């Protein structure tokens, strides 16, 4: 399983590190100009009270067809803008929404993410229509 992630403050990276410790999945931090050939899941953060990070936007635009799902970290203090980057990327690039979690996530969030990715992304032609549960 491949996870592609964008992290600015370290919250998403901490979340990803916990996931790979449990699963052994491959995690790759997205960088400008990178190329990918393996399909996977994108995990990002929400910035500036509801903005999609630029690197995330460019990555989703270029590799959207290879992405099974999008998940996002956020801060519940932002109300309706909590982890809204996932909603925006999902809507704009037709990438199914897997989940939203606060900051670096709790163990419950991590286990839920693993369950969603392991058990719910194989059910459609894209591999993840069933994911829209966030």
CATH for 11: 3.40.50.360
Neighbours of 111 (CB within 10 A): 14
Residue-range definition of the domain harbouring residue 121 = 2-131
Q: DSSP label at 32?
A: T
Q: What is the pLDDT of residues 13-49, one digit of tens each?
A: 999 999 999 999 999 999 988 999 999 999 999 998 8
Q: What is the pLDDT of residues 52-99, one digit of tens each?
A: 999 999 999 999 999 999 999 998 888 899 999 999 999 999 999 999
Counting the structural domains of the chain, the total is: 1
Residue 50 has pLDDT above 50, yes or no: yes
At 77 the pLDDT is 84
Please give the model's pTM, rounded to 2 decimal places: 0.87
The phi and psi torsions of 52 (rounded to 5 degrees) equal: -80, 130
Please, where are the H alpha helices in the chain? 11-23, 54-63, 84-93, 107-120
Residue 130 has pLDDT above 50, yes or no: no
End-to-end CA distance of the chain: 20
């Amino acid at each position: 399983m491949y996870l592609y992630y964008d992290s600015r403050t370290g919250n998403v990276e901490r979340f990803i590190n916990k996931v790979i410790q449990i699963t052994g999945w491959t995690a790759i931090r997205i960088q400008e100009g990178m190329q990918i050939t393996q399909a996977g899941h994108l995990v990002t953060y929400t910035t500036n009270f509801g903005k999609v990070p630029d690197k995330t936007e460019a990555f989703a635009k270029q590799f959207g067809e290879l992405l099974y799902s999008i998940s996002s970290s956020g801060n519940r203090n932002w109300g309706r803008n909590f982890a809204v980057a996932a909603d925006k990327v999902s809507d704009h690039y037709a990438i199914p929404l897997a989940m939203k979690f606060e900051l670096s996530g709790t163990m419950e969030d991590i286990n839920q993410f693993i369950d969603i990715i392991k058990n719910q992304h194989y059910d459609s032609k894209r591999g993840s229509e069933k994911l829209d549960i966030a």
